[in-house]
A and B are shown apart, each in its own frame.
Chain A
Amino acid sequence: MLQRIVSGGRWTQAQPAAACLAARWMSSNAGELAHALDDLPPYRPGSNPKWERVEAAKREAALGGGEARIAKQHKQGKLTARERLQLLFDPGSFKEAGALVQHRCNDFDMDRQQPFGDGVVTGSGKVFGRPAFAFSQDFTVFGGSLSESHALKICRLMDRAVAAGAPVVGLNDSGGARIQEGVMSLAGYAEVFQRNVDASGVVPQLSLVMGPCAGGAVYSPALTDFTFMVRHSSYMFLTGPEVVRSVTREEVTQEQLGGAGTHTTKSGVAHGAFDNELDALAGVRELLSFLPLSNRDKLPQIPCTDPTDRQCPYLDYVVPGSELEAYDMLGVVQQVVDDGQVLEIMREYARNMIVGFARLEGRTVGIVANQPAVLAGCLDIDASVKAARFVRFCDAFNIPLLTFVDVPGFLPGTAQEYGGIIRHGAKLLYAYAEATVPKLTVITRKAFGGAYDVMSSKHLRGDVNLSWPTGQIAVMGAKGAVEILFRGKDTDMKQQEQEYELKFSNPFQAAKVGFIDDVILPRTTRQRLCQELEVLADKKVWRPQRKHGNIPL
């Protein structure tokens, strides 16, 4: 009891719970007398100058850039670096490392300002009882600017995280490089970048941009697995509006250039945005709960109360009778997964593709799904890149992939071709082909042309490829096919279309040759996937030795 309180660093005003409870049970005076010393504070020689100096330094470190700057930060709807960490980790679990670090710069009178911590708080703690590491830039100290020591703290933290095999969360709130330190600051960035790359695929790396993140600094979040932003208080860009104006004469605000809206809808730099910091930190905790701690960790599994044999009658009706009608694929996914909970990644970007995390029987799965309600669910550059990166993340961390297919093909047009849809589409193809995690695929309706191949098909070593009776696995839709097959021929197109439909607009052609393992009733989808996944849990694939493949970047 006492041990815990002392190590907590300070006395809490409220009586500890256990003491309360004990007091309730010890109702007699004799009982209270027996434990009279419980209330005595521990030995704490305030007069000892050595102890006092440490205490004072820690108090100073805890205040960061001082109360005035903290108030200013709060006024902007932003929390301090330490507050953020306390919210990110389970209550009381955060342990700081490097609180007393100071910078080593003597230029520009910097030696006269030596704040403890040097603009970044680093340490570790627990998220839902599981270990994680985090650094949090302190905007109240030199605007969170990155110095040599600041960078070194981050690097040490990352080294420890990789060694310990636990995720790293970066909370970015920094004005940029510490100009006074010159190249030492740039070196610091690069050291962090190198570690981001070294840790990539070893431990999950998450970035939460909670303030400015400009210039070279943006590349650290860009190298991590997921980047999140806070609406209206964070922005990311390489060159700010002023430079943009002087070079290209474009008038643009910070928000337009690099706000959360821009990066979650237009650029795809950020994977999600939150309305405020409390939501953001809660959201990052939620995401961490889905992820293994490292590539050597087992897939997390939580107790599942949603019956694995739950039937989903809704799915029997969801695919419309008319081919031209759309439906919401997210609704389909929500029916299938545990408790209907899907944590979507990049929800606002390339909405014709859904990616996200969910659970089946309590085990994390990565969801990739065409969204017929947007652009008919076709594959375009953005959707391919979005899904490709997600597939590779899941593969790196042994998260099984669950793919829902309703894809009419690739989006045609000069914009796509000039933009390199061939190159970008190849990324998704590559990612699926390379992935060795269990791959389960459900074709709900269309699986046309090259897009069929790409979407976790049997040919890309899909483990279980299922189709609903409404599945249509073909080179293209009936109308287009008939137009090509009978071009210039004098024939009844309508009848030919019907014949083509009868022949190809169904799962039989594919099932006949084993490209589809089974045609299932939609309502049984969840049950079937849970069963298949259980069987595949220990899937192993051996690949020939190589340094690394060459994904078409």
Chain B
Amino acid sequence: MQSRRRLLACLRFLAAAPGGERHLSSTAAGSARAADGRLFNKLLVANRGEIAVRVMRTAKRLGIPTVAIYSEADAAAVHARYANEAVCVGPAASTASYLNIPAILAAMKQTGADAVHPGYGFLSENASFVEAVEGAGATFVGPPTYAVEKMGDKVESKKFAAAAQVNTIPGWAGVTENADHALTVAKDIGFPVMIKASAGGGGKGMRVAWSEKELREGYELCTQEAASAFGDSRMLIEKFIEQPRHIEIQVLGDKHGNVVYFPERECSIQRRNQKVIEEAPSPLVTPEMRRAMGEQAVALCKAVGYHSAGTVEFLANPQRQFYFLEMNTRLQVEHPITEMITGQDLVEHMLRVAAGQPLTVTQDQLLHCSGWAMECRVYAEDPARGFLPSIGRLQHYREPRGPSVRCDSGVQEGSEISMHYDPLISKLVTHGVDRQSALAGMRRALDSYVIRGVRHNATLLRSVLDVPQFVEGDLSTAFLAQHYPTPASSAPNRLPLSSQQADELLAMAAMLWVGKQRRLSSGGDVAQVQAETQLVLTMDEQQVPVTVRPAEARMVGAAATTTTSAAAATPPGGGGQALEVQLPHRIMYVRDCGTGNAQLVRAEVDGQAAVLQVLEAGPRQYALQHCGAQRVVQVDGVLAAQLARHMPVPHVEDFSKVIRSPMPGTLVSVTVKQGQRVAPGDEVAVVEAMKMRNVLRAEVDGVVGAVEAEAGAVVAADQVIVRFS
């Protein structure tokens, strides 16, 4: 009962309209420093995008005025407009703006902000920033410098963990000096090993090596990436745990020595070592395991004198053994799922702790979770191109809504996903009484999430939700690599459809087609489209004969088909009439419910609500998206379908003979020379974009015919770099 009340409170908070500033007086004891009882006079959020908005939302609810910082590229960004005040801190490059400590300090001074929340990323785990903020007389909403320093360093943090009796990964080593040293270390531990940047995070500067060759290659790339992303190229090597699951514990401490842990989050679904789907609790974790992990996490926090919110990350194997991975001394990206199942607002806790108040939540309150929450990170990236960021402007953007849906985003229709920053569009969170209902909610939410203008991973995410192993909770950090082994297999047009989903897709395509014929025929003679329509739908090179007839006809008899008026064919409000769609092996009943949105179709299929997205509508075909899978469905009459075999085969260009830049970026190097023979998998060139170095490899055997771009050149997406002869 109590947990339910907490949940409701949490949902109410989520539903609070932007700008709806309910003035909550601080009821808890403690030092309320601001004049009128507010926790702080003014909070500067040193971040951008969704997390900036997320933090400001709580601040607004607590009656704390907010200050946004923004770069020149973000002048029109949502977070800058959401804050009460906004200060430009520099040009687009984050090193000159969001990482520009002097400019941020100046913004604090200019606006009179007496507290700074760093969000995640950027300066959130930068000890010198913490010092600078505090040196300027303001409060850093986060952990103390000491903890940030010790936990921010992966080598140091492991020493601490070991000392605090936390399980650590076997055979870990300190910082490696160079590739040769790394090799020696790796041989000691035994392959496979993980190479990772000491200062790393977000999957940057991190690679698995299964052999000496891979180690040397990976070491080189990681070092370069780490140097360009963090300005720190120190590397460490550790044992790579196979079939690992990523499970983490949210902790919260105050300045009075209290630390509590929250129920775990599982973040095993990752690509390039970056989390994409998270859930809380974990399907693996038992109450005993939860307690063990939680108690170790708390022990570590106490060892470093931690306060504020933090996360202790573990790797677990299927036998429920777990090892300390690292501690993140910040608010995690995936914190909303913890909020959803505990009814707590972690940002509020952070603010209260920063203001010196003791924790208002006890460990007992956090032992039980209320239901299940799931989060999908929706990125502007192209799964078909190895998850490379996709930049552009959101031409159409509509977030899913619903009573247990939370969408944390920092964009609106028209917003730009720029090449300068992380391409996260939003974090989509659903909550349910159990895992199945959270999962079902997430399916619905992703199905109706309209994103146009950039490529995105929502399709892949949706597809993952239908993989039987995922449904059963059988996860591992290698899940995506196992189930979607190649970039091509995660391309939206290759994602699988179950036979039921395929039938639904076909039935709805037929419905759209008939609806369009009726609309276009409304100026003419409708009798003819009132009757039965024979169609042949072609999808995935399969021709499917379909008969569509008005469903009412069965009820009122054949005569009605000729007397139905034009008006009845297209009822007002965009809704359509019920249709009976006869597929070769079954009959489906569909009705277009109408959304007034050309990109989204809501329908009833056999009495069940179904959602379909229209990507493109042509005279003879539709490009549709159903359950994450994108398909082109060609719609023909019977005669056209018969005659289709005479049509010439469409000309498809052969791209295996060229290496193209997968995205706009800088060509770092070209490894091959003209006349050189290459085998599949050989490195051909390296393109750097968004601080990621991408190795382009040959897909087929061949001889290099021409190198069409030089190292150092700026290359456009799809620009040919090397041509094979």
A-B interaction: yes
Chain A residues engaging chain B, CB cutoff 8 angstroms: 17-18, 21-22, 24-25, 74-75, 77-79, 83, 86-87, 90-93, 126, 128-131, 232-233, 275-279, 282-283, 285-286, 289, 300-303, 305-307, 310, 313-318, 331, 335, 338-341
Contacts of A91 in B (CB 8 A): 528, 637-639
Our pick among A286, A313, A339 for the contact of B414 (Cβ within 8 Å) is A313
Inter-subunit contact A307/B620 (CB<8 Å): no
4 interchain residue pairs of minimum CB distance: A129-B524, A339-B598, A129-B521, A18-B558
Q: Kindly list chain A residues whose C-beta atoms are within 8 Å of the C-beta of B171.
A: none
Closest to A317 in B: B414
Provide the bound-state CA to CA distance between A339 and B598, in Å.
5
State in angstroms the CA–CA spacing of A275 and B649 once bound together: 9
Taking a contact as CB atoms under 8 Å apart, the answer to whether A306 and B596 are in contact is: yes
B273 at the interface (CB under 8 A from A): no
Complex Cα distance, B549 from A192, in Å, reads 43
A313 touches B413 (CB 8 A): yes
A83 lies within 8 A of B393 (CB)? no
B interface list, Cβ under 8 A from A: 76, 393-396, 412-416, 453, 517, 519-526, 528-529, 531-532, 549, 553-554, 557-558, 561, 570, 574, 594, 596-598, 617, 619-620, 636-640, 643-644, 646-648, 650
| Inter-subunit contact B594/A305 (CB<8 Å) | yes
A314 and B648 in contact (CB under 8 A), knowing A87-B637, A279-B620? no
Query: Hey, which chain A residues are within 8 Å of B650, CB to CB?
Result: 275
User: Quick one: given A301-B523, A302-B520, are A282 and B619 in contact (CB under 8 Å)?
Assistant: yes
Report yes or no: B395 in contact with A335, Cβ–Cβ below 8 A: yes
B524 touches A341 (CB 8 A): no
Whole-angstrom distance between the alpha carbons of A279 and B619 in the complex?
Answer: 8
Contact residues in A for B393 (Cβ distance below 8 Å) = 314, 317-318
A128 and B521 form a contact (CB under 8 A)? yes
User: Which residues from B are CB-within-8-Å of A331?
Assistant: 395
Q: Which residues of B lie under 8 Å from residue A25 when comparing CB positions?
A: 557
Q: Which residues does chain A contribute within 8 Å of B619, judged by CB atoms?
A: 279, 282-283, 285-286
Nearest opposing residue in chain A for B534, CB measure: A91
In this complex, the member of B596, B619, B643 whose beta carbon has the largest number of chain A beta carbons within 10 angstroms is B619
Which residues does chain A contribute within 8 Å of B648, judged by CB atoms? Answer: 77, 232-233, 275-276
Chain B residues with CB under 8 A of A283: 619-620
Cα A331 to Cα B647 in complex, Å, equals 32
Say how far B295's CB is from chain A's closest CB, in angstroms.
49
A74 CA / B646 CA spacing, docked (Å) = 6
Given A129-B523, A303-B522, A313-B413, verify A77-B646 contact (CB < 8 Å): yes
> Are B644 and A303 neighbours in the complex by a CB distance under 8 Å?
no
How distant is the Cα of A289 from the Cα of B597 in the complex, in angstroms?
A: 21
Query: A129 near B598 (CB under 8 angstroms)?
Result: no
Give the A-B pair count, Cβ closer than 8 A. Answer: 124
- Complex contact B596–A314 (CB within 8 A): no
Chain B residues whose CB sits within 8 angstroms of the CB of A276 once the complex forms: 647-648
Q: Does the CB pair B639–A87 fall under 8 Å?
A: yes
Q: Which residues of the other chain, A, contact B558 by a CB distance below 8 angstroms?
A: 17-18, 21-22
A302 to B413: give the CA distance in the assembly, Å: 28
User: What's the minimum C-beta distance from A290 to chain B, rounded to whole angstroms?
Assistant: 9
CA distance A83 to B638 in the complex (A): 12
Residue of B416, B549, B597 near A17 (CB, 8 A) is: B549
Chain A residues with CB below 8 A from B644, complex form:
278
Q: Which residues of A contact B597 (CB under 8 A)?
A: 306
A314 touches B414 (CB 8 A): yes
> Chain B contacts of A92 at CB under 8 A?
528
Q: Collect the chain A residues with CB atoms within 8 Å of residue B549's CB.
A: 17
Q: Once bound together, how far apart are the Cα atoms of A420 and B521, in whole Å?
A: 44
Q: Residue on A with the closest CB to B561?
A: A18
Cβ contact within 8 Å between A278 and B596: no
Cα-based distance from A168 to B596 in the complex (angstroms) = 34
Task: Report the minimal beta-carbon distance from B568 to chain A, rounded to whole angstroms.
Answer: 12
B524 touches A126 (CB 8 A): yes
Known: A18-B561, A21-B553, A21-B558. A93 touches B528 (CB 8 A): yes
Q: A278-B636, A317-B416 are in contact. Are A300 and B532 (CB under 8 A)?
A: no
Task: Please give, as numbers and ranges, the residues of chain A lying within 8 Å of B532 by CB-CB distance.
Answer: 17
- Residues in chain A near residue B519, CB distance under 8 A: 302-303
B517/A128 in contact, CB under 8 A: yes
**How many Å from the CB of B432 to the closest CB on chain A?**
31
Which of B524, B554, B620 is A278 in contact with, Cβ under 8 Å? B620
- Kindly identify which residue among B522, B525, B617, B643 contacts A302, using a CB–CB cutoff of 8 Å: B522
Sample 30 A-B pairs with CB under 8 A, ordered by A number: A17-B558, A24-B554, A79-B646, A83-B639, A86-B639, A91-B637, A91-B638, A93-B528, A126-B528, A128-B521, A128-B523, A129-B523, A129-B524, A129-B529, A232-B648, A233-B648, A278-B636, A278-B640, A278-B644, A289-B520, A300-B523, A301-B523, A302-B522, A303-B522, A303-B570, A307-B596, A313-B413, A314-B453, A338-B598, A339-B598
CB-nearest residue of chain A relative to B642? A83
User: Once bound together, how far apart are the Cα atoms of A128 and B643, in whole Å?
Assistant: 21
A317 to B393, CA, bound (A): 9
B146 → chain A closest CB, angstroms: 44
- Nearest Cβ distance between residue A12 and chain B, in whole angstroms? 11
User: Given the complex of chains A and B, what is the CA–CA distance between A310 and B294 in angstroms?
Assistant: 51
Is B76's CB under 8 angstroms from A317's CB?
Answer: yes
Q: B111 CB to closest chain A CB, in angstroms?
A: 25
**A129 in contact with B639 (CB, 8 Å):** no
What residue in chain A is nearest B647 (Cβ atoms)? Answer: A276
Q: Give the chain A neighbours of B574 by CB distance below 8 A.
A: 305
Contact of A278 with B643 at beta-carbon distance under 8 Å, contacts A17-B549, A21-B554, A129-B529 already known? yes
Contact between A306 and B598 (Cβ–Cβ < 8 Å)? Answer: yes
Q: Which partner residue on chain A sits nearest B515 by CB separation? A: A305
Residue of B nearest to A331 (CB): B395
Residues from chain B with a CB closer than 8 A to the CB of A278 are 620, 636, 640, 643-644, 647
Whole-angstrom distance between the alpha carbons of A92 and B528 in the complex?
10
Q: Which residues of the partner chain A approach B522 to less than 8 Å between Cβ atoms? A: 302-303
Nearest CB in chain A to that of B620: its residue: A282
Report the minimal beta-carbon distance from A312 to chain B, rounded to whole angstroms. 8
With a cutoff of 8 Å between Cβ atoms, the chain B residues found around residue A86 in the complex are 639
Given A126-B524, A128-B521, A314-B413 contact (CB < 8 Å): yes
A282 to B643, CA, bound (A): 13
- A residues less than 8 Å from B554 (CB atoms): 21, 24
Complex interface: chain A residues within 8 A of B413 (CB): 313-314
- Complex formed: what's the CA distance from A226 to B639 in Å? 26
Check if A341 sits within 8 Å of B617, measured CB to CB: yes
Distance of B220 from chain A, by nearest CB (Å): 37
- With CB as the reference atom, state the residue of chain B lying closest to A310: B596
Best-surrounded residue of B517, B523, B526, B574 (most CB of chain A within 10 A): B523
A305: B residues at CB distance < 8 A: 574, 594, 596
**Complex contact B647–A302 (CB within 8 A):** no
B639 touches A126 (CB 8 A): no
Residues of B within 8 A of A74 (CB): 646
Complex Cα gap A78–B561 (Å): 36
Q: Are B529 and A77 in contact (CB under 8 A)?
A: no
Q: How far is it, in angstroms, between the C-alpha of A128 and the C-alpha of B525 when the chains are bound?
A: 8
- Alpha-carbon separation in the docked complex, A277 to B639 (Å): 13
In the bound assembly, the distance between CA atoms of A75 and B416 in angstroms comes to 49
Chain B residue at minimal CB-CB distance from A78:
B646
5 more contacts with CB within 8 A, not counting A22-B557, A310-B596, A313-B412, are: A18-B558, A79-B646, A87-B637, A91-B639, A306-B596
Partner of B396, one of A75, A314, A341: A314
The closest CB in chain A to the CB of B575 belongs to A305
CB distance from B393 to the nearest CB of A (A): 6
- Are A302 and B523 neighbours in the complex by a CB distance under 8 Å? yes
Are B643 and A314 in contact (CB-based, < 8 A)? no
